[in-house]
Amino acid sequence: MSQPQPVSVTDLDVTQLADVRKQLEEELNHLTNSFAQLKQAQSKFKACIENVGEVKAANIDKTILVPLTNSLYVPGKLSDPEHVIVDVGTGYYVEKTRAQALKHYEAKVEYIRTNLDALEETIQKKRDNMGYLTNLLQSKLQAQTKG
């Protein structure tokens, strides 16, 4: 069985170019949405770092609001400022020291940052390709109307 041969976009007709442009636009929208979701996740982990930083011995026995969901909080008292409960994903929670929790969340932020950098590079390449395709499509349309 033979391998598919690459085709230069300059060899495509206007209809095919429009289809390729539409597909590229959909990919770009998907990547942009993924980028926004990763940014949001990174912000949440940064907020977790700040929250762990607020758990101090000075706040022992003070009333706090404990999040049960994103919109539901219940009152509680801070009894052990050296340990926190960390959501490690898929519904699992682990008790960690504050230092371990900070390390966990900082690693998450760094992992997401690395993915964001790679995704940003991919998005930029797709945008460059989109610009090239758009210019090529416009020039082919102009050539059609003149011809």
Q: Where are the alpha helices (DSSP H) in the chain?
A: 14-54, 98-146
Domain residue spans in the chain? 14-135
CATH of region 14-135: 1.10.287.370
Tens of pLDDT, residue by residue over 89-146, are 898 999 999 999 999 999 999 999 999 999 999 999 999 999 999 999 999 999 888 8
Tens of pLDDT, residue by residue over 63-85, are 888 888 879 999 999 889 999 99
Statement: the pTM of the whole predicted model exceeds 0.85: no
Q: Report how far residue 13's alpha carbon sits from residue 54's, in angstroms, rounded to the nearest whole number.
A: 61
Q: Report how far residue 50's alpha carbon sits from residue 71's, in angstroms, rounded to the nearest whole number.
A: 19
The torsion region of residue 85 among left (phi > 0), alpha (psi -120 to 50) and beta comes to beta
pLDDT at 1: 58
